[in-house]
Chains A and B, each alone.
Chain A
Amino acid sequence: MSASRLLAPFGAVGHGIVRALAAVRTGLAHASGMTRLLASANYHAFIAPLLGKSRLRQQLFVTASNVGVLSLPIVSLISFLLGAILVLQSGEPLKRFGQLQEVPGAVALTLTREIAPLLTSIIMTARVGASFTAVVASMKVNEEIMALETMAINPVAYLVAPRYLSMLVMLPCLTVFSNLIGMVGGAVVAYGVYDLAFSVYVQKTIEYLSMTDFVAGLVKAGIFSVVITLVCCYFGLIAEGGPVGVGRNIMVAVVTTLVLVIVGDALATAFINNYVY
């Protein structure tokens, strides 16, 4: 056996280590870039307007309308169906044990604590986050962001801050809607399939739900809103390489956001279970 064949496995391991180190380095560079973007977005969203240095209001209404109002139909539809599915899935086993009246409580807790904030964030990542990356990335490759810089218009103030604020306000609002509509969906199916009266459904829901459940879900939604805007705008701002680069960064932004949202959800749930309930 020749020496090169004997050494081949070591070469492969070496290549693997080099690639892993390069991936870690890239990850750290992205984390550093996103941290700086977060600091800058916070400054332009909260501090600059107080100093009278912002034109935020001009864009805020349009962006908030796109992020919030126009997302309402899809969030409503999916929340209604999920509420209905939760009742169908939990209704049958609970009915077998004669515990059908526990269905509204189980659905309400699952929705407020977990499903509504997570589902709304996933919808917003696909519907709004992807469009954030697409718009910002297209502007980057078309030199529009460079043009803003040469006009002394800060791209973070002009592009990121209104999106950041809109998402921060609208995602928790949409989560509230998702909770309510999910419960309505559950109540409709509970009445239609299991003959559970609306009044009983509402009474049981109120009995089980506490304000803590509701607020915990909204806090999660607030955290996810920061993650979605930050990651999606960041990958837009660093786009290069024409249409291929725009497409690649949209994909990376959506995948990264979904992973971070679910990791964030796991951490937030662990924290809330240990320290809040």
Chain B
Amino acid sequence: MEPAVEAREITKRFGRVKVLDGVTFQVPRGQTVCILGGSGGGKSTLLKILIGVLEPTSGEVLIDSKPLHGISERARDRMRLKFGVMFQSGALLNSMTIAENVALPLQHHTKLDAETISTMVKMKLQLVDLLHAADRRPSQISGGMQKRAAVARALALDPRILFYDEPSAGLDPIATTRLDRLINKLKVSMRMTNIVVTHVMESVRRIADRVIMLHAGRVVLDGALDDLLQSDNPLVRQFVEGDLEGLASESQSRLDFHRDLLM
């Protein structure tokens, strides 16, 4: 079966700095893939390229075997309807209620009447357990609720692929578990392909079928969850165990020291 998402030799440079270096992987349909890595490892840049808001310097991204970059704006907009995105901050429109946020993509991309849209919005909010907050504004609900509302909005047009940017960031353990359960529920009940950028190991253990680990813009591990947990790679071991001392922190601190020295 063709992969839902495929990254081929993605390289991204900002000036002279190479942030991603030949990143290649496939995301099988109906699985949850976690993209891991420490801060500054290139995860966020990779996510922006995967969702089509940033152009790679070279390489290509395929969604359902069709290229996402190097195409017309109209063609890219059609591609964007195939996936939804949950941003780290939720990125809900603050001027609207939660229900209006979820209704927005339906109003823009369908010709459904207001009553049908309202019914669909209620269904999506029910799915993420937020029906009671439909008329509240994003600023009136908690961070965890905002993220679930963002998932409901991402689900509005029934995509088959969902991207999540740091879903656990800023959440307490209970809210994190609730969000992880939602990700699992979507995979099981809707056969959703989930691509989760995270650095929280507890979440990875709960949701991941496969993991891709980035370090300094390169893929250092691409395999099943067990491959991550049993890896001998010192970089991977340090990340999994959260050791302060190791290759990852050494390279980072040395780099910072040289940068400070030259400034």
Q: Which residues of A contact B (CB under 8 A)?
A: 55, 58, 135, 138-139, 142-144, 146-147, 149-154
Q: Are A152 and B77 in contact (CB under 8 A)?
A: yes
Q: Are A150 and B109 in contact (CB under 8 A)?
A: no
Q: How far is the CB of A152 from chain B (nearest CB, A)?
A: 4
**Chain B residues with CB below 8 A from A151, complex form:** 80, 104-105, 108, 153
Segment of B85-93, B209-217, B236-244 in the binding face: B85-93
Given the interface contacts A55-B108, A143-B89, does A150 sit within 8 Å of B94 by beta carbon? no
**Count the A-B residue pairs with Cβ separation under 8 angstroms: how many?**
51
CA distance A146 to B89 in the complex (A): 12
B120 sits at the interface (CB 8 A): no
**Chain A residues with CB below 8 A from B108, complex form:** 55, 151-153
Q: How far is the CB of A156 from chain B (nearest CB, A)?
A: 11
Give 8 nearest A-B pairs by CB, closest first.
Answer: A147-B91, A152-B77, A143-B91, A152-B80, A150-B85, A151-B105, A143-B87, A144-B91
Q: Which residue of B lies closest to A138 (CB)?
A: B94
Of B84, B87, B92, B104, the residue contacting A153 (CB under 8 A) is B104
Given the interface contacts A55-B107, A55-B108, A58-B107, does A149 sit within 8 Å of B53 by beta carbon? yes
Q: How far is the CB of A237 from chain B (nearest CB, A)?
A: 14
**Chain B residues with CB below 8 A from A144, complex form:** 91-94
Main secondary structure of the interface of A (DSSP, over half): helix
Q: Are A150 and B93 in contact (CB under 8 A)?
A: no
Given the interface contacts A143-B87, A143-B89, A144-B94, does A150 sit within 8 Å of B107 by beta carbon? no
**Chain B residues with CB below 8 A from A55, complex form:** 107-108
- Chain B residues with a Cβ closer than 8 Å to the other chain, count: 24
Given the interface contacts A146-B53, A147-B85, does A139 sit within 8 Å of B93 by beta carbon? yes
Q: How far is the CB of B159 from chain A (nearest CB, A)?
A: 10
B52 sits at the interface (CB 8 A): yes
CA distance A152 to B52 in the complex (A): 11
**Chain A residues with CB below 8 A from B105, complex form:** 151-153
B63 sits at the interface (CB 8 A): no
Q: Are B87 and A146 in contact (CB under 8 A)?
A: yes
CA distance A135 to B93 in the complex (A): 11
